[in-house]
Chains A and B, each alone.
Chain A
Amino acid sequence: MNVKQFLFKAFLLSLLTWGTIEAVYYFDPYKKYDLETSYNAVIIDKYKRLQETASPKIVLIAGSNFAYGINSKLIADSLKKPVVNMAIHYDYGTTFMLNQISSELRKGDTVIMGFEYIIESKGNKSEQLLMARYFPKAKEWMEFDDIFEEIREKSQLRINIFKTVLGRLLKNKEITYQVSDTTSVFFRGGTNEYGDLISHFNNPPMKVIPRAILSDKESLKDAIVDMNFFYKTMKARGVKVYFVYPTYSKANYDLDKAIINRYQKEYQKYAQFPILGKPTDFVFADSLYHDMAYHLTKKGGDIRTQKIIQLVRKSGL
């Protein structure tokens, strides 16, 4: 048997196996359902509002600490500007999240960034690709280190979807999500018209807020570099950019104080954008948190929003 025949057979086997995975990826029977219910697909609604809201507007960007703990209506009413809460999940990373909003910002707009202490620059590519599956424009916001990373991440997504579809076919049971129920949180439709997450309002909060994970070895420098670049670009465009520290539950803050102080020093050292307040401004009693150190309840969100408004006003906006 010659080399050509061997290569043909190898190609055929690869085509059959990977073809099965590609076929499931493109003809995923649950894609339509996921588009309507997936939390990643909430970007469709948020981005629509971002595009449709006239300038000057206030845009909020961060991970779930902003999704959970912001009352955008309160900000809009207080500062007399329309608000778009673009926050979804910290794991998208600063590069992706800032790319997400930059093309839709105009002169006179204000951006408030409130990234978590665990924020990374690159973010989780699987989460980003999953968003791009529901909202193809998200591909434009992604940045890969090299072609290998791109192939790896895209292949991984296909394999994950293949596994998920297989699992769902075997289970043959879908979960339904509703704002009014007392269990579900992360789903498209779980936010209000501003983009604030409201699906947890009905859900009972945890009695003890679990321990958050902050690493001694991590640095926020790369994320701050992204924010600096964004700030400079926006400044040239006439967009104001501010940063506020994320919220963090009291018990967790007491345990992670040293790390948070180090992060604060990093911000003070590297950040070129204005920072409103300090970390302790957003540390509240554990009873105001829903299920983790970053996730506020409705009441907690209102208190925190008031604090942001107060700081923004103080800055002269």
Chain B
Amino acid sequence: MLFNSIEFLLFFPIVTIIYFLLGHKDRWWWLLVASCVFYMVFKPEYLLILGFTIIIDYFAGIWIENAVGKRRKWFLIISLVANIGVLAFFKYTNFAIFALAQANIAHFKLLDFILPIGLSFHTFQAMSYTIEVYRGNQKSERHFGLYALYVMFYPQLVAGPIERPQNVLHQFYERKYFDYQRVTSGLKLIAWGLFKKVVIADRLALFADKVYNSPMEYEGVPIIVATIFFTFQIYCDFSGYSDIALGTAEVMGFKLMKNFDRPYFSKSISEFWRRWHISLSTWFRDYLYIPLGGNRVGKTRQYFNQFFVFAVSGLWHGANWNFIIWGALHGFYLVFARVTQKPRAAFNKITGLEKKPFLLKTLQAFTTFCLVAFAWIFFRGNYLEQSQLFHLVTHLFSNLPILKEFLTFNYISQNVFLNFTLIEFLIAIGLIIFMEIIHYIQRDKSIRQLVSTFPIAVRWMLYYFFIMAFFILGVFDKPAQFIYFQF
């Protein structure tokens, strides 16, 4: 079920109202049933896949806890093999078949099935449970229903945040009450998430899709414009989803981990990854980077580990070379940043930038933004043919106009507005600025708390205009899927 669908508009209040009407003891099964319904809207039979890994991991958790010595490790391996096996089979089999055929090694028939929605998310969440039990950070969950709910909790089931058992499982045992402040705060977060998705992301998508759907027709400025719009589109799309997930959970009294923290204000790539898809980057840090040696190994090995983790993170996103390149590119950025740390510091000193912190930070943020935006080309080019993607990357700076040519309405209309009207372009830009202003305000204080301090008349006017703006500026032609659903 999509968060931006009519179905969810009916599903959410019904589930929430009944949730609060039920006694504490009955709530877990109600949420579990609701989560099953939420998932089954996509493809009912795929519930069996989830069921399979849930059963394996539930028992693996108990066995790991009860076992001693090497047996603990074996039970963990059974759990990991089951999870990674399901993920590999559904997500990477066709990729492997295709790669073997391309390399002319072996030719197999491609398998014909649709990827289970959100598979990478709930598999990683399930894996974090058995790993944490193995590490002794989490007691095994004996209540099968609650464990199933941990994996299937509908707000974060299909696109995260990828939770840790320590953060979520205990919350299912806690008695939740209807708290007006919390419920309205959660609803405001849902509204903001929906706004980011339906109004900003889907509107920016109109611009980005225009170029990315027929890449060979464009060169230079239009590719740059579309890439910048996609950079904000994917942020609004994914962080919008996360906001709705967090808000939905908050309404019912659950606190999920923050997944985004104004990533485009980052001054370095490493900072970007501390602010973007936080639940995934910390997952890779804790369960892959650190076990590989983390920062405890030699520098060359550290660089390799960093690069490797990011390439794997790319592969996590999708069984496609584009995602691997995207991940590897980020890995390269990070390694490059570490290798050039000293020369860059020396450069800042010589040029005097060091003494102008605002200018330095602005330059760093701008550079980081450009690097991230460039990498998104590979991510967005997921469905493109190799030649089309190659065209986009190699023609990014082709055919750039001289200033005189650039400043003509005809040129701007075709290459910057991408043949949309001036008003449509200004609305898109205005929405990005609006969002970043909100982010800027949120640096120090919560907008939601701020709004709740306003007099009731002002508050209601704000709510009214916000909702009307949602209807007026939203793109409702077809309920667009969230980009991260495909993973």
Contact = CB atoms under 8 A, between A and B. Distances in A.
A148 B464 contact: no
A12 to B, nearest CB: 9
A148 B6 CA distance: 6
Contacts of A159: 471, 474, 476
A17 B467 contact: yes
Nearest to B471: A159
Interface in A142-167: 148, 151-152, 155-156, 159-160, 162-163, 166
B463 A13 contact: yes
Given A152-B6, A163-B472, A3 B479 contact: no
Interface in B452-473: 460, 463-464, 467-468, 471-472
A155 B198 CA distance: 15
A152 B479 contact: yes
A13 B180 CA distance: 16
A162 B180 contact: no
A175 interface: no
A212 interface: no
Interface string A1-35: 11101100010010011001100000000000000
B106 to A, nearest CB: 28
B6 A17 contact: no
B180 A1 contact: yes
B20 interface: yes
Category for how many chain B residues contact A = 20 to 34
Contacts of A1: 180
Given A3-B20, A13-B460, A148 B7 contact: yes
A160 B472 CA distance: 8
A293 B477 CA distance: 26
Nearest to B181: A1
A155 B183 CA distance: 26
A162 B473 CA distance: 11
Interface in B176-212: 178, 180, 183-184, 187
Contacts of A20: 468
A162 B472 contact: yes
Contacts of A162: 471-472
A179 to B, nearest CB: 29
Contacts of B463: 13
Contacts of A156: 476-477
Contacts of A163: 471-472
A6 B183 contact: yes
A3 B178 contact: yes
A13 B476 contact: no
A6 B476 CA distance: 28
Contacts of B479: 152
Interface in B1-41: 5-7, 10, 20
Interface of A: 1-3, 5-6, 10, 13, 16-17, 20-21, 148, 151-152, 155-156, 159-160, 162-163, 166
Interface of B: 5-7, 10, 20, 178, 180, 183-184, 187, 460, 463-464, 467-468, 471-472, 474, 476-477, 479
Given A3-B20, A16-B464, A163-B471, 10 more contacts: A2-B178, A3-B178, A6-B180, A6-B184, A13-B463, A13-B464, A17-B464, A151-B6, A160-B476, A162-B471
7 contacts: A5-B180, A10-B187, A13-B467, A17-B467, A151-B6, A155-B6, A159-B476
